[in-house]
Amino acid sequence: MLDLSFTNLSGKIPNSIGYLNSLRDIRDLIDHLKSLRWLGLLNTKFSGEIPDSISHLKFLVALGLSYTIISEEIPDSITHLKFMTNLDLSFTNLSGEIPDSIGDLESLEFLVISDTNMSAEIPDSISNFKSLFYLDLHSNMMKGSLLPSICNNTYLRYFDISNNRLHGVITQCSRNISLTMVDFFCGTIPNAWDGCGDLEGLLLNGNSLEGEVPSGLSKCKSLKVLDLGNNHLNGTFPHSLANLQNLQVLVLKSNNFHGPIDNSSVIKHPFSSLKVFEVFENKFVGLLPKKYFQNFDAMNNVVNKGRIPKYVEIGKFYPITIVVKGSEVIFLKISVVYTIVDLSSNLFEEEIPNVIGSLHTLIALNLSHNNLESQIPKSMGILSTIELLDLSSNRLTKEISKSLSLITTLEVLDLSQNHLMGHIPDGTQFRTFDATSFEGNPGLCWFPLPKQCEHPSVSHIVVDGDDESGFTWKVVMLGYGCGTLLGLVVGYMMLSTGRPTWFNTFDDDLEYMIQKRQKKEKTCLYRKMKSIP
């Protein structure tokens, strides 16, 4: 084995490297180097071209040249290495064509030629790979169309040809291949997926695909990631996918889907493993999918974070794009504990359901640019891990719940362009946001907006009135005045026994006031209670 990866070596690869007749390990440099099996030059400063002498390393099984400055074309000499199983030429300056003779490497299992200047078409000879498991040709300048001969690679599990100049349609033969990552073309998605049992990821983002999502995809029981975003797909929400119990990521963003998203399925636990639900920029209408929210089990259950972070993998890490205040933020890999719901830029109406608060592991929630009404549910205050909350450009009314200001994880907040009113809660976290998070709400006042409240002291006291609980601040205030016996007894008992679960969200100043006055009023309370016959 000869591994010079991640060094500062520079210059050309010496032609004499092909005459190391017996090298098995770097410690054997003094020996003959005929039996070299692994050659790693990753992330070095080697430049020039791959020397023809490399063909003398007859027993080489792995060659890694990624992140080097090697240029020119792939030489035919590489194709003489009959025992080669792993070839990585990614992130190089290689140009020209993939030689047709590459098909002579019949033992190849792992082939990566991505992020290069390679052009021309994918050679027909690629179908000669009988054991190819991993094929990554993404981010080149390859032309032409997907070859039907790719269907002959029955062992292929990972296939990425995204970010090229390919064109055409998705061939029917796709059903015979367990594709993991694909990114191509136009036309419709074929409804023929009988052989997709091992398919873990299907990425068709950013093409010109039309038509509906085929129901046949529901047969892909191993599917973890389905990304159909940024196409021209239409039809209604694909409820047939709800039965995919391994599906973690569903992206339907930026298409022409329409109609309501309501759970009309008879499936008991639809989308139970879903962690990312992105359907923004469509024409969905009606109510938010309350029943689906109730069954997002993977978002309801708190996951213990281990010492070693884990990520969603489908042959390699799956990247995700999140829109933050109108700007796209790209994450090169997504943690298994990172949960996202984005239904923005649709036509959803009426209120935000309280059940949204049960999605305990939510990191990002975007419901902006809809027609949502009523108040922000107080249940959102128990989203203790949320980092991004965007409810802007809706018709939300009433006060902002104090509970929101107590979420310590919140980093991005946008409540702008609504009909909110009253005093902006004075929580520690809210003081980190500027006026843009609240602008466009004429009825709002207090920091960080320049508008002051007319009666700021009253606004601090009257917070989070909750009709559903049957217990309001009017009762509490009555209970701390000696003039009204009934209000006093009820208020005192509510504070002394079985406090409501949302009690911890009360304003800090008011809680301090209550504690201070409790001693003073205790005598008054005792006398009043003794006077009851």
Mean pLDDT by 10 residues, the chain (533 residues): 47 49 37 67 74 82 86 86 91 88 89 87 82 85 74 74 73 53 67 76 84 90 90 92 91 95 73 92 94 86 64 75 71 78 95 92 93 93 91 95 89 94 86 92 91 63 38 33 34 36 33 40 38 40
Distance of alpha carbon 315 from alpha carbon 523, whole angstroms: 72
pLDDT value at residue 462:
37
Q: What global pTM score does this model have?
A: 0.71
Residue 424 pairs in a beta bridge with none
Query: CA 110 to CA 175: how far, in whole Å?
Result: 22
Per-residue pLDDT, 476: 31
Strand (E) or helix (H) holding 330: strand 327-331
User: What pLDDT, on the 0 to 100 scale, is given for residue 148?
Assistant: 66
pLDDT (0 to 100) of residue 529? 36
- Shortest CA distance to 443 belongs to which of 506, 404, 395, 406? 395
What pLDDT does residue 489 have? 32
How many other CB atoms are there within 10 angstroms of residue 328's CB atom? Answer: 8
- For residue 516, what are its two tokens? 């201070």
Distance CA 186, CA 210 (A): 7
Predicted local distance difference test score (pLDDT) of residue 480: 35
Q: What is the pLDDT of residue 128?
A: 80
Distance CA 2, CA 25 (A): 6
Query: Residue 74 corresponds to which tokens in the numbers above?
Result: 């792939």
